[in-house]
């Protein structure tokens, strides 16, 4: 009887360890790789002027369950950080961005065709809130277009906020 109980306990422990091992990491789970085209070390250029706007580092973290963005623009004058993650329950991506420039962005969404489109709010720490939309589109040459829009409540139209071209840094 004791041997049977020990054998049963061992079988249960082996099954539990297999379940835990299968639930570790997000790399192979559906949806978590949708934003991988943005992962890398980038130089960012203003699409309207062609001038260098800054650099950005996008790193997969937590076993592929999230992306961490670290922005430095204008010679380090402006900085910001975002956490980006896929929620498999809502099936949406979420970006939460905070900048030393006294504003934050909280946007959600997902893939629309080849582009990642996230919508939500831009918060000025002085109290103003605007509707905000970000679209990231991978280009055939390996670059990525990042197009941000802010809703103007006076004109009731979307207005460009930033239009950037991400170019991978040379290794």
Domain ranges for the chain, please list them: 33-168
What's residue 131's pLDDT? 97
**In the CATH scheme, what is the homologous superfamily, with its name and number, of domain 33-168?**
Calycin beta-barrel core domain (2.40.128.20)
CA distance 84 to 108: 9
Contact present, 170 and 55 (Cβ < 8 Å):
no
Contact present, 83 and 66 (Cβ < 8 Å):
yes
CA distance 58 to 81: 10
Name residues of the chain where pLDDT drops below 70. Answer: 1-23, 76
What's residue 37's pLDDT? 97
Task: At 113, list the tokens.
Answer: 């065709």
What's residue 19's pLDDT? 44
Residue among 62, 119, 132 nearest 93 (CA): 119
What's residue 129's pLDDT? 94
Contact present, 37 and 24 (Cβ < 8 Å):
no
This model's pTM is above 0.75: yes
CA distance 50 to 43: 12
Contact present, 95 and 105 (Cβ < 8 Å):
yes
The alpha carbon torsion through 22, 25, 136, 165 (nearest 10 deg) reads -140
What's residue 23's pLDDT? 61
What's residue 110's pLDDT? 98
Predicted confidence (pLDDT) per residue in 102-126, tens digit: 899 999 999 999 999 999 999 998 8
CA distance 19 to 141: 41
66 - beta bridge partners? 61, 85
What's residue 15's pLDDT? 52
What's residue 6's pLDDT? 43
What's residue 2's pLDDT? 56
CA distance 157 to 171: 41
């Amino acid at each position: 009887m004791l041997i049977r109980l020990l054998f049963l306990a061992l079988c249960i422990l082996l099954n539990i360890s297999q379940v835990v091992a299968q639930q570790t990491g997000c790399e192979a789970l559906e949806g978590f790789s949708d934003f991988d085209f943005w992962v890398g070390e980038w130089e960012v250029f203003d699409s309207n002027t062609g001038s260098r706007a800054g650099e950005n580092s996008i790193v997969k973290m937590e076993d592929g369950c999230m992306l961490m963005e670290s922005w430095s623009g204008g010679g380090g004058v402006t900085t910001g950080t975002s956490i980006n993650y896929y929620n498999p329950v809502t099936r949406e991506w979420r970006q939460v961005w905070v900048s030393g420039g006294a504003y934050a962005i909280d946007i959600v969404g997902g893939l629309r065709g080849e582009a990642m489109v996230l919508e939500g709010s831009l918060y000025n720490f002085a109290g103003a809130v605007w509707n905000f939309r970000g679209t990231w589109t991978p280009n055939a040459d390996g670059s990525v277009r990042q197009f941000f829009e802010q809703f103007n409540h006076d004109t009731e139209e979307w207005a460009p906020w930033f239009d950037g071209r991400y170019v991978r840094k040379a290794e």
